[in-house]
Chain A
Amino acid sequence: MTKPEAELETSYVKNGSITKRTIIAFVVFVALGAGAWIAYQSILSQPKIAGNTQTPLRKVLQFNEAISVAGFDSNKLAKEYPISAAVKKVRVNGMDGLRSPLDTAAWQLNVVKGTGDTLHLTMDDIRKLPKKDLAFDFKCIEGWNQVTHWAGVPLKTFMEHYGLTSLKQLKYMGLSTPDNKYYVGIDMPSVLHPQTILCYEMNGKPLPLNQGYPLRLIIPVKYGIKHLKRIGTMYFSNEKPPDFWAERGYDYFAGH
């Protein structure tokens, strides 16, 4: 014979007392259920900050962000793939900030170092820095992913070369397109991650216009929404720079 399982505790009581206990249990149960529903409704009715996100939810996102930034380990790299694994047909997902005509001859990268102190750089200034090729699994916040091949200068190298080292002390970097219609804010640990590059090539050729020619951000530790195409201005701040998709209800951190 196999050993029987432990018996359940059993007692014998008068009829009335059990009815009372049952009623109390159900009253508590219904009250807690109603309480949960009221709590849910009260969250829904809270004022919304930054798009369609109620204050309590935004606070949780900020809490998640604080943990993610504090625990961020820049030695952890996004998986890299052989260049041959990269797709030839790269998905284009969003043209915000790219709809204005681009004067390719006049384009320059404006790097705001401080008030009244702005660097104006050309593509030649950027191309002369060490180039890094990177094939990684690009991840869109929508849920799709694609192994794609990019090349450019690591942002950390760029910052050190152009005398921006002291700006690393600030908490955020902001980027915006020349027409200011698309803009992102990125926490400094992610900016300085070794795989974050100022990118000017895709699949070994200059970026196509719809992929951000002449210069875009590639930041494998973030969702695609942060990989701003056609960089116009770069600046640094301790305040959160405005962020296009965060203003539309998305998580500001949006990182991996």
Chain B
Amino acid sequence: MKKVVHKHPLAIRWFHWLNFPILAMMIWSGLLIYWAYGVYDISVANTVLVKFFPKSFYTALNVPYRLAEGMNWHFAFMWLFAINGLLYTLFLAFSGQWKHLLPNKQSFKEAWQVLLHDLHIRKYHPPQIKYNGAQRIAYTMVLVMGIGSLITGIAIYRPVQFGFLRWLCGGYAAARTEHFILTVGFVLFFLVHVLQVTKAGWNNFQSIITGFEVFKVSKKSVNNDKA
């Protein structure tokens, strides 16, 4: 006898796994585009701390002189990114799944507890049903970031026809910077996400493919559950 907890509806699994290659292509083609005017860095008092990106980085990934190719993929996959994101948002809203996703009153306290737990400072981990507070905040944030990428992206793509969005972003150059920062945010999210999923183990990971998590149960606990 096994206890099966249905964690991820089929639609969410589709959105998740479609988004993975789509977002990967957006980031990769975005890098090909960014290279043509790759001027951003993080500097403190005239000292460059991080340069986006060093020449060796571009060379290693074979980025140089592929601007046209990058733009072509970017402006094809933008549709897929936008449509998949829109359907995901609508599904969250109408299926009630947003109740599992959006942060609530406890989320911020919980997120702090999760952070202390994950940094091995405290043993205590708050109980969770689907997502803990840290996950709720992170997964909601990437959704907001996706909307932000779309808005800043359109502001760069059609700054005259969508002049309002360009204005909203604080101008054309600002929109480009924001678009870049959001992309760095996605990459950082991806790294933490993969690390956390690895730590959480197989049962959790396979649930985004199968939809369910499986737990061993004794006859006794089944009866208790049913009671």
Contact = CB atoms under 8 A, between A and B. Distances in A.
Interface in A60-113: 60-61, 64, 68, 71-73, 76-79
Interface stretch (A3-11, A122-130, A152-160, A166-174): A3-11
Contacts of A220: 160
B172 interface: yes
Interface in B90-104: 96, 99-100, 104
A251 B33 contact: no
Interface stretch (B46-54, B67-75, B181-189, B192-200): B67-75
Interface stretch (A135-143, A178-186, A198-206, A229-237): A135-143
A143 B33 contact: yes
B222 A57 contact: no
Given A139-B159, A142-B37, A221-B160, A5 B129 contact: yes
Contacts of A58: 72
B217 A12 contact: yes
A193 B79 CA distance: 27
B21 interface: yes
Nearest to B6: A9
A120 interface: no
B5 A249 contact: no
B67 A141 contact: yes
Interface in B188-221: 206, 209-212, 214, 217
Contacts of B96: 6
Given A11-B6, A143-B36, A25 B211 contact: yes
A131 B106 CA distance: 65
A211 to B, nearest CB: 20
Interface centre among B39, B76, B158, B163 (most CB of A within 10 A): B76
Contacts of A14: 1-2
Given A6-B96, A57-B72, A25 B172 contact: no
Contact of B1 (A12, A32, A144): A12
Contact of A249 (B7, B69, B173, B214): B69
A230 to B, nearest CB: 24
Given A6-B100, A143-B36, A251-B75, A18 B2 contact: yes
Given A12-B3, A145-B173, A250 B100 contact: no
A104 B213 CA distance: 78
B217 A79 contact: no
B105 interface: yes
Name the interface size band of chain B.
35 or more
Contact of A64 (B75, B105, B163): B75
Nearest to B72: A57
A111 B163 CA distance: 33
B67 A73 contact: no
Contacts of A53: 68-69, 72
Q: Which 8 A-B pairs have the closest CB atoms?
A: A143-B37, A249-B68, A142-B36, A25-B210, A60-B76, A256-B160, A9-B6, A57-B72
Given A10-B6, A18-B212, A26-B206, 10 more contacts: A2-B104, A7-B129, A12-B1, A21-B210, A21-B212, A57-B76, A68-B161, A145-B172, A249-B72, A255-B158
Interface of A: 2, 4-15, 18, 21-22, 25-26, 29, 32-33, 36, 51-53, 56-58, 60-61, 64, 68, 71-73, 76-79, 137, 139-145, 220-221, 245, 248-251, 255-256
Interface of B: 1-7, 17, 21, 33-34, 36-37, 39, 67-69, 71-73, 75-76, 79, 96, 99-100, 104-106, 129-130, 158-161, 163, 166, 172-173, 176, 206, 209-212, 214, 217, 222, 225
12 contacts: A8-B6, A8-B129, A9-B5, A9-B6, A11-B4, A11-B6, A13-B1, A14-B1, A14-B2, A33-B17, A73-B161, A143-B176
